[in-house]
Amino acid sequence: MTSLRADLRLAWDLTRGSDRGEWWRVTLTASGAALATGFALAAVALAALRGQYNVPVAAGLLNQPGTRSGVIAGLLLLLVPVLGFLGQCARIGAVHRDRRLAGLRLAGAAPWQVRRIAALETGLAGLLGSAVATVFCVLLLLRLWDKPTALAWAGIALVAVAVPLLGAAVSALALRRVVASPLGWVRRVAPRTGRGPGLLFLAGLLLVGVVALLALATESPAASNRPGNGLPLTVVGVVLAGGAGAVWLSGAMAEVTGRVLAARARSAATLIAAQRLRADPWAAARTHAAVLLVTVVGTGFLGIRQVMGDVVRTQRFSERADYYLTGLDLTGAAIALAFAIVLSGLAVGTAESLATRRRGLAAQVAAGVPRAVLGRALLLETALPLAPAVLLAGLGGTAIGTWYAWLGHHPVPWVMALAPCAVYAACLLAAATSLPLLGRTARPGELRYA
């Protein structure tokens, strides 16, 4: 136990003495953990309800077990973009952290010690986030619910503890290569394949999926024999398959785009962007997978919403239109939230890629490479592989919407075709938020340090 305390102390010292990049990582990781805790707590609290219950929010949408299960599934699905975001956060300052941990190994620390120190670092950030989120959620819950059941309390406690623990476990797993040898990644010669984090993302996706399925299966036994109950299950399955496909598709797209363009590029910016994609297509895949997922869901939802909105307003549901529209709006809000998280992840990822390369970028600027060229290369790195991938994802979403409209014999809601365009533009904007950072990063001062 004393050695654990020593490690904890070391982890704390390392975090405290670290530079701004580290603090960004800690802050963003804590925010991500807080989001994850919030969603999970909401899902748990709802899952603890049994049968008909009067919940004073969302136009009575949460009163019945059937619709409640849908909301729970939605909340759990929101964990997917949060996971992606956390993955991006873990990469902030990764190069420096890897070097520092390799330094610990060189100083004689055993692999498990280094892994534990790193896990403690992440765990502490996660604990901070989850603690803040838990406190606020509990306060909110006590206002809405006079006497939460023991089951609800147990669930809340479980989530509050599980989030930081999971974060620590994932970071220990992700560091297996760094700590394998004392020299670790002090000297990184060949570009790594980067499939590891992609696999982690998939594993996380799978975990969320399984939990969502379990929640759906156990939540409402009374409603299980009702027709249409299979729909949420199908949606979850489709989204999972879509996510896995998106990772692969995005990586493959980046690789092909990079290879084709690297041979034909006529301008310096295109050449740099293409060669970077070719060197590490999976970096793009990690960042873009969640974007594609949101595109499919968002486009499809836009179509479905259009059709359902018409149905609700015009037909026999009109007296309860409010109820249905609130449901739709809630789903829309969830998708918008997911998209916002995904965009933050993208912006963080772009900023991180700049921070990692700051010395090299400073050298390019010193050699007279205009900042505009470097900025264009940065945007092209996002724009090039994303264009075909978003197009395909948009087509997928449009297909869902069209299919739904066709089922109900309604005209195809073409407005949904706008969704992929909006997604693409928003992604470019998110990447462009790093451009001011490029100006500050590529300083001659960086030339002075190794």
Partner 1 sequence: MSRPVPLLTAGGLTKAHGRTPALRGASVVLHAGEILAVTGASGSGKSTLLHCLAGIVRPDAGSVTYDGRRLEDLPEKRLSELRRTEFGVVFQFGQLIPELTVLDNAALPLLLAGTGRAEARARAGEWLERFGVRGQENLRPGELSGGQAQRAALARALVTGPRVVFADEPTGALDSLAGEQVMTALVHTARESGTAVLLITHDAQVAAYADREVQLRDGAVVALGVTA
Which of 200, 363 has the CB closer to partner 1? 363
Dist. CA 203–CA 226, nearest whole Å: 32
Dist. CA 100–CA 286, nearest whole Å: 24
Name which of 251, 178, 250, 205 is nearest 87 in CA terms. 205
Name which of 216, 78, 55 is nearest 140 in CA terms. 55
Residues near partner 1 (CB under 8 A) are 189-191, 264-268, 271-272, 275-276, 278-280, 359-360, 363-371, 373, 444-445, 447-448
Instruction: Work out how close the CB of 117 gets to partner 1 at its nearest, in angstroms, rounded to a whole number.
Output: 29
Which of 262, 348 has the CB closer to partner 1? 262
Which of 150, 189 has the CB closer to partner 1? 189
Which of 32, 281 has the CB closer to partner 1? 281
Instruction: Work out how close the CB of 364 gets to partner 1 at its nearest, in angstroms, rounded to a whole number.
Output: 7
Residue 339 is encoded by which pair of tokens? Answer: 């998209």
Dist. CA 100–CA 355, nearest whole Å: 17
Buried b (16+ CB within 10 A) or exposed e, 294-311: bbbbbbbbbbbbbbbeeb
Instruction: Work out how close the CB of 223 gets to partner 1 at its nearest, in angstroms, rounded to a whole number.
Output: 54
> What beta strand segments (E) does 269-327 contain?
none
Dist. CA 300–CA 396, nearest whole Å: 8
CA distances from 154 to 48, 159, 160, 161, 208 (A): 10, 9, 10, 11, 20
Which of 239, 262 has the CB closer to partner 1? 262
| Cβ pair 172, 116 in contact under 8 A | yes
Which of 17, 368 has the CB closer to partner 1? 368
Which of 372, 418 has the CB closer to partner 1? 372
Contacts of 425 (CB under 8 A, 6+ apart): none
Residue 302 is encoded by which pair of tokens? Answer: 């836009």
Query: What are the helix (H) ranges across 220-280?
Result: 230-264, 268-279
Residue 230 is encoded by which pair of tokens? Answer: 């299979």
Residue 341 is encoded by which pair of tokens? Answer: 């998280």
Which of 42, 378 has the CB closer to partner 1? 378
Instruction: Work out how close the CB of 439 gets to partner 1 at its nearest, in angstroms, rounded to a whole number.
Output: 10
Buried b (16+ CB within 10 A) or exposed e, 363-391: ebbeeebeeebbbbbbbbbbbbbbebbbe
Instruction: Work out how close the CB of 276 gets to partner 1 at its nearest, in angstroms, rounded to a whole number.
Output: 5
Instruction: Work out how close the CB of 110 gets to partner 1 at its nearest, in angstroms, rounded to a whole number.
Output: 30
Which of 158, 372 has the CB closer to partner 1? 372
Contacts of 114 (CB under 8 A, 6+ apart): 101, 104, 105, 175, 178, 179
Which of 108, 449 has the CB closer to partner 1? 449
Tell me the backbone φ, ψ of residue 175, rounded to 5 degrees.
-95, 10
Which of 299, 364 has the CB closer to partner 1? 364
Dist. CA 34–CA 81, nearest whole Å: 13
| Cβ pair 245, 158 in contact under 8 A | no
Instruction: Work out how close the CB of 20 gets to partner 1 at its nearest, in angstroms, rounded to a whole number.
Output: 16
Instruction: Work out how close the CB of 441 gets to partner 1 at its nearest, in angstroms, rounded to a whole number.
Output: 14
Instruction: Work out how close the CB of 278 gets to partner 1 at its nearest, in angstroms, rounded to a whole number.
Output: 7
Instruction: Work out how close the CB of 99 gets to partner 1 at its nearest, in angstroms, rounded to a whole number.
Output: 15
Instruction: Work out how close the CB of 347 gets to partner 1 at its nearest, in angstroms, rounded to a whole number.
Output: 22
